Amino acid sequence: MPFHCLGPGEIIPGMVHANGVRRRVHVGDLQPGDHACLLFGSDEERASILRDFVLGGLDAEDKILYLSAEEDPPGPAALLDRCRLTSVPGGLAGRVEVVRLAEFLSRRGDLEPAALMRWLRGAAQRSREEGYRALRVAGDLGAALRDEHDVRTLLRYETLLAEEFSAGQALAVCQYDIRRCEPAALDAFASAHARSVEADPLVRTADLVVVRTYRPQGLRIEGVIDTDSQRHLRDALRSVAAVRGDVRLEMSRVEFLDLGGLRLLMTFARARAARHCTVELVGLLPHLSQVITLIGWDRTPGLRLGAVHAY
Amino acid sequence: MPTEAGPGDAEGAGFVHHACLYGSDAEFLAMAVPFVRDGLAAGEPVLAAVTPASIELLRGALGERAYALDTAETAGFGRRPVERVRAFLRYHESRSRPGRRMRMLAEPVWTGKTARQVAEWKRMESGLNVLLAGLPVWMICPYDLRAVPADVAEAACATHPGRMDGRRLIPCPGYADPAAYVAGTGPQAAPAPAAAARLGPTARVAAVRLFARERAAGAGLTGERLELAVLAVCEAAGYLLAAGARVALRAWEEPGFLLWELHSAQACPLPAFAGFRPPGVAPDPEDGLWLARSLSESLDAEAAGDGARITLRVAGRGFLP
């Protein structure tokens, strides 16, 4: 059950961004010194991002450290299983470590931020000595939350972490399950991070970026869709074809969309309708909305036209 | 040889296209009333897309039957030929009944148009024989001899296989095959002036897009009109590029218009009346050309030497469409 954490507008000392404005970073673009949050709403969303986090760490020769709450994986193999990774190139061989948060609790069962931070500092130092590029930390700290006191403790930890990691010795992704906490607390946790992490793009070319989104389920499409890039859009749409329920395509950063690209969206809408659900196009530039209506495609089964976006 | 046209006429499976050159209200009604009355009696959808005055006249003559008649003021039933074709197709789509044909009275607005626009509408009248072929539609296009210029009345006999005089069907001996009619109307667009901005030849869509955007912005277009102009040029270029061609572009301004000439030195299929049918569920190579045509004030596509040339006139600054 979610519990009340903070009142509206309540300011927590140490907040990095009191207004909650953060830059998004793709998980594959994380660099040492980054301290990012992941607010996830489904196991699928977390698994997808965690998978890229682990693969990115192995690729960059980082030491990977997972802070495990009670429900979390007990060891590296279980962690890979959670990421839906069956094997990793070169094997684990000490490159992935799982540490239980229970080791940093006081006798009363409270998390001790300073003790955890000391340990992380040492772990980062050891990683460098062992030849790793950096220490790469992830964990679902929100899983350890019990009450408002824990929220404040966790925010202290986040503040310490932000200061510690800005030196560039380590990077961290702090996961919070939005199903387990109230919006005000989530805002506070999010505000304690300079960046929020999202899945690596399904498509990343010079002209087109397509990112899987989870809340709501769908895609964010940015850039240009023309004859050269239609196949990328088709592939990206296939990746959400199996989504149960409605899909939203966020299109406010689409600079150009040709008729062939529009047709792909209409074909996708009809496929949605066949599954008794819809696709909503949100943030379309007004002229694209006008073209859809001109052709008569605004009546396409399964299609919903959301708010348009100003030029 | 004139024949009496009755309820059983024009019941073939496809499109039947007749003109009616009338010189008085009585002559109009002598054709229109039986045409509408017989259609309604047979349970056919009947549309009168004619002038408001003709609609009023017809309603008065039909009496109670006028309630069953669909009407549209012709000036608003497609401002340009491509829109007119779409309007016909949409009416058919929305009102067609299995096993029944439908009837349309379609009287274009001829007065007040430029010579270019009149030529485009004449070509479209011819094109309807191709574009609507196969549709179970009997269309009669009334021409008011009190208002239309002589060349328009003359063209009616070249663009309609027959004409109605009251209930009598009179074949048009001057009827021309539509492709031949269009080919015989001469070059549609003047070539680009020497001072026009140039690009290419290129096979790169992105280069076309950047050039189109730069020229449209340079001509003072902004916002929605800028984006629609870029889209029109890109779709027209896409039609030529899809044939494996490289496209050379020219862009220039005339008062009220921004013009683009797209030239391909390679052969490219350009059927007469290409790009007049709106996109359907299944993709068609002419879809992009239809969109370019719909977003332009006019679009001329024609063979040029061994290649092809498409000329678009897009509303420029100061033009309030």
Band (pLDDT 50/70/90 cuts) for residue B162 is: very high
Per-residue pLDDT at A11:
38
φ, ψ of residue A284 to 5 degrees: the values are -60, 140
B288–A287: do the CB atoms touch at under 8 Å?
A: no
Cβ contact B158:B127 at 8 Å? no
Split chain A (311 residues) into runs of 10 and give each run's mean pLDDT. Answer: 39 39 81 89 87 88 86 75 72 80 80 84 89 89 73 80 78 87 83 87 93 92 94 95 93 95 96 94 93 94 86 70
Which of B275, B279, B278, B277 shows the shortest CA–CA distance to B262? Answer: B275
* Record: fold of B3-183: Rossmann fold (3.40.50)
Cβ contact A67:A120 at 8 Å? no
Does domain A23-198 correspond to CATH entry 3.40.50.300? yes
* Distance of alpha carbon A34 from alpha carbon B245, whole angstroms: 49
Tens of pLDDT, residues B61-117: 999 999 999 999 999 999 999 999 999 999 999 999 888 899 999 999 999 899 989
Q: Pull the structure tokens for residue A126.
A: 């050891």
Structural domain boundaries in chain A? 23-198, 203-305
Diameter of chain A by CA atoms? 69
Band (pLDDT 50/70/90 cuts) for residue B192 is: confident
* Distance of alpha carbon A269 from alpha carbon A278, whole angstroms: 6
φ, ψ of residue A88 to 5 degrees: the values are -125, 145
B269: preceding bond cis by omega (within 30 degrees): no
Band (pLDDT 50/70/90 cuts) for residue B184 is: confident
Q: Pull the structure tokens for residue B297.
A: 């004030």
A224–B287: do the CB atoms touch at under 8 Å?
A: no
The arrangement of strands across the sheet holding B307-315 comes to B197-202, B247-254, B257-264, B307-315, B298-304
Checking DSSP bridges between strand B137-144 and strand B162-165, what pairing results, if any? Answer: unpaired
Q: Is the dihedral of CA A244, A245, A250, A254 positive or negative?
A: positive
Taking only residues 239 to 298 of chain A, the set having a beta carbon closer than 8 angstroms to any beta carbon of chain B reads: 256, 258-260, 263, 285-288, 290-291, 294-297
A259–B279: do the CB atoms touch at under 8 Å?
A: yes
* Record: fold of A203-305: Transcription Regulator spoIIAA (3.30.750)
Per-residue pLDDT at B189:
74
Residue B9 confidence (pLDDT) above 60: no
Which residues are bridge partners to A223 per DSSP?
Answer: A208, A254
Does domain B197-315 correspond to CATH entry 3.20.20.80? no
B223–A290: do the CB atoms touch at under 8 Å?
A: no
* Distance of alpha carbon A144 from alpha carbon A238, whole angstroms: 37
Per-residue pLDDT at B66:
93
Which residues of chain A does B294 touch, with a Cβ-Cβ cutoff of 8 Å?
294
Tens of pLDDT, residues B219-275: 999 999 999 999 999 999 999 998 887 999 999 999 989 999 999 988 888 888 999
* Distance of alpha carbon A251 from alpha carbon A309, whole angstroms: 9
Distances (CA, A) of B218 to A256, B205, B212, B221, B236: 19, 20, 10, 7, 20
Sequence ranges of chain B with CATH classification 3.40.50: 3-183
- Which among B224, B234, B235 has the least Cβ separation from residue A287? B224
The complex's ipTM works out to 0.89
Tens of pLDDT, residues B24-51: 999 999 999 999 999 999 999 999 999 9
φ, ψ of residue A80 to 5 degrees: the values are -60, -35
Say whether residue B209 is in contact with chain A using an 8 A CB cutoff. Answer: yes
Sequence ranges of chain B with CATH classification 3.30.565.10: 197-315
A224–B209: do the CB atoms touch at under 8 Å?
A: yes
* Distance of alpha carbon A92 from alpha carbon A98, whole angstroms: 12
